[in-house]
Amino acid sequence: MTQNDDAWYADLIAAEQACEATQLSEIKARLADDPYTATAYAVSCGLADEVPPVLFDLWSEGQITDEQLPNALSAVWVRNRSPLRSLGERKWLTLFKAVGFFIVNSSGGRVIHIDGRATPIPTAFAHRDAQPVAPVEVWRGCPTSTNGRGMSWTIHRECAEGFAEGVATLGVEAGIYRATIPPRAVLALFGDDREQEVVVNPNTLRGRIQLHEIIPGRPLLRWPHATGPTGNTS
């Protein structure tokens, strides 16, 4: 690279960093009062992983009140494919314990347009609308390398199977895990048209997780090499 190329690249990186800082500032400003819009915007900007630490810091600093925390917490959690990636179990547990058990079920939130009419998408799995008072059987689909440990579970085996299949399509061996947990282990219930999620305190899972099924990782699909007139790869 020439000196001019280096300068152009440095300017590009600086511009991207400035844009990201502006977007994060907007997300931070709206997270307390309008968390669902803020988190949707974060997803659209590719910044979902940046939001969990922002949530924790805002709450710790008193900029998100205990009354605002349940909606902010649920929005940040469900709008992140891997919430623990940027905020560890200990801090998530601090947030969930500050709220106490709660339920957020949003049925019919998405619609499909058929013949010009908006039709709500039905829920794929039944939702629970009450705090458990007896042991609960929960399921989880994830890489076998985790031994099933995690906070995101579901009460529906078929839902866990779908997550495990998604992992396997990435070439990673997946497992479908089962556990029977006491009511106190359930931190929250989040439901939408795609799943009924059970957020579980992972510290209560010791000795309770069983591997139900292994799904081998599938080889990643590769585009075939282009071939020339002689049939040789080019």
The SS3 of residue 198 is: strand
> Domain residue spans in the chain?
1-100, 102-219
Confidence (pLDDT) at 221: 65
pLDDT at 228: 43
Residues in the chain: 234
**pLDDT of 114:** 58
The whole-number pLDDT of residue 123 equals: 59
Predicted confidence at residue 98, as pLDDT, reads 97
Q: What's the DSSP call for residue 200?
A: E
Q: How far is CA 191 from CA 2, 63, 179, 185, 194, in A?
A: 54, 27, 19, 18, 8
Chain mean position to CA 181: 22
d(CA 68, CA 73): 9
Structure tokens given for 28: 């931070």
Helix pair angle (35-44, 69-78), 10° resolution: 20
Q: Is 170 helix (H, G, I), strand (E, B) or coil?
A: coil
In a 3-state reduction of DSSP, which class is residue 140?
A: strand
DSSP tag of 217: P
What amino acid is encoded at 81 in this protein? Answer: R
Residues of the chain with pLDDT under 50: 108, 111, 226-234
If you search the block for the tokens 């556990």, which residue do you land on? 179
User: Is 186 strand, coil or helix?
Assistant: strand
Q: Give pLDDT, residue 195.
A: 78
Question: By CB neighbour count within 10 A (0-12 exposed, 13-18 middle, 19+ buried), where does 231 fall?
Answer: exposed
Per-residue pLDDT at 226: 47
CB-CB contact of 126 with 196 (8 Å): yes
Two tokens, residue 215: 């799904």
Question: Which pLDDT does position 14 carry in this prediction?
Answer: 76
> What's residue 233's pLDDT?
30
The pLDDT score that the predictor gives to residue 194 is: 73
